[in-house]
């Protein structure tokens, strides 16, 4: 069973009698134990998707299953238990995760109290896992920004959620600290087999995960997968450049057969203006070829 299955997910916000479509029929599947990143420009729908996966908002239409649970059909009580036990959330702003007058260990124990009782040994284990075993009794004002974010990750893991969501987790720290935080996520993924979904603008971070999904205009537009060592070896044998290329990009075809052409190709084909653009799509030797409509001047 997949951890996350989104099928034709729609999210509509209403404001001043206007309807804004944040998600417009998004399709996405994430497997159990996967660590991946979601990217997209502001307003693309990536943060909306994260809020839906976290149970903070409900979809307007479509199907959204997380760990076999249907988020559209949950009661308020079921949704509360879902947020407490199924999903952990790490915010960019640590203030949403942490209580400033408590120590690191006490902060990690708070979610456990909501579940039943605090387990000091488990809180210590989690803080050790994120590299803060020496900071158990320090308050937040005694921790750096990167250390506070590590505490936030431990808090998110306190009740053993199978899914961990992170919203711009490296956005408020420097590059070196951001790299260390990503190593923490990878260690968690390896040791606990936790499914991890990271929303980020950090291009360095995306180079270090195995899969990157790009969202544009409320839909998945492209997916990038890490190039495997054997593929790199084959490319080197063929004399193809590999220096900066870490992932292969694929365009997503949705359930209605629609695809979004990557923005770089739109620029090359001169199809970025706001007028209606027409293209020809043909099959040539087993490949799909997209050709812009010839202007009458060139016809």
pLDDT at 75: 93
Residues 200 and 253 in one domain: yes
Pair (179, 236) in one structural domain: yes
194 lies in the same domain as 291: no
Classify residue 191: in a domain, yes or no. yes
Beta strand spans in 31-162 (E): 35-39, 61-66, 69-70, 87-90
Q: How far apart are CA 25 and CA 286, in angstroms?
A: 29
Q: For residues 295 and 28, what is the distance between their CA atoms, to the nearest angstrom?
A: 37
Closest CA relative to residue 48, chosen from 38, 57, 40: 57
**CATH code for the domain of 25:** 3.40.50.300
Q: What is the pTM of this model?
A: 0.86
Residues 238 and 277 in one domain: no
Residues 294 and 235 occupy one common structural domain: no
Same structural domain, 209 and 241: yes
Same domain, 80 and 166: yes
Q: Are 154 and 127 in contact (CB under 8 A)?
A: yes
Determine the structural domain holding residue 70 and report its residue range. Answer: 4-86+161-257
Q: Tell whether 77 and 195 lie within a shared domain.
A: yes
Same domain for 193 and 73: yes
pLDDT tens digits, the chain, 299 residues: what are they?
A: 799 999 999 999 988 778 889 999 999 999 999 999 999 888 889 999 999 999 999 999 999 999 999 999 999 999 999 998 999 999 877 667 789 899 999 999 998 887 777 788 999 999 999 999 999 999 988 998 889 999 999 999 999 999 999 998 888 778 888 888 899 999 999 999 999 999 988 777 788 888 999 998 888 888 888 887 665 556 555 666 555 677 888 888 877 777 878 777 777 777 766 566 788 888 888 888 888 777 655 54
């Amino acid at each position: 069973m997949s951890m996350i299955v989104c099928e034709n997910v729609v999210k509509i916000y209403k404001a001043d009698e206007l309807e804004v479509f944040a998600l417009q029929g998004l399709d996405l599947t994430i497997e159990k134990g996967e660590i991946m990143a979601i990217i997209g420009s502001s307003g693309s729908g990536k943060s909306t998707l994260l809020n839906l996966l976290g149970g903070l908002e409900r979809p307007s239409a479509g199907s959204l299953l997380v760990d076999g649970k249907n988020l559209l059909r949950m009661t308020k009580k079921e949704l509360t238990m879902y947020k407490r036990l199924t999903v952990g959330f790490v915010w960019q702003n640590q203030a949403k995760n942490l209580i400033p007058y408590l120590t690191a260990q006490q902060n990690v124990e708070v979610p456990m109290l909501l579940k039943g009782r605090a387990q000091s040994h488990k809180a210590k284990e989690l803080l050790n896992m994120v590299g803060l075993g020496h900071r158990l009794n320090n308050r937040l004002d005694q921790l750096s920004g990167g250390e506070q974010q590590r505490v936030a990750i431990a808090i998110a893991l306190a009740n053993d959620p199978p899914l961990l969501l992170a919203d711009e987790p490296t956005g408020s720290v420097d590059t070196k600290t951001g790299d260390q935080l990503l190593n923490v996520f990878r260690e968690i993924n390896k040791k606990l087999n936790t499914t991890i979904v990271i929303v980020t603008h950090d291009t360095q971070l995306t180079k270090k995960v195995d899969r990157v999904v790009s969202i544009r205009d409320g839909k998945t537009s492209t997916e990038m997968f890490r190039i495997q060592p054997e593929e790199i070896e084959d490319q080197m044998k063929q004399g193809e450049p590999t220096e900066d290329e870490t992932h292969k990009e694929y365009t997503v075809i949705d359930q209605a057969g629609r695809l979004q052409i990557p923005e770089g190709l739109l620029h090359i084909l001169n199809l970025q203006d706001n007028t209606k653009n027409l293209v020809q799509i043909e099959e040539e030797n087993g490949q799909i070829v997209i050709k812009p409509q010839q202007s009458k001047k060139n016809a």
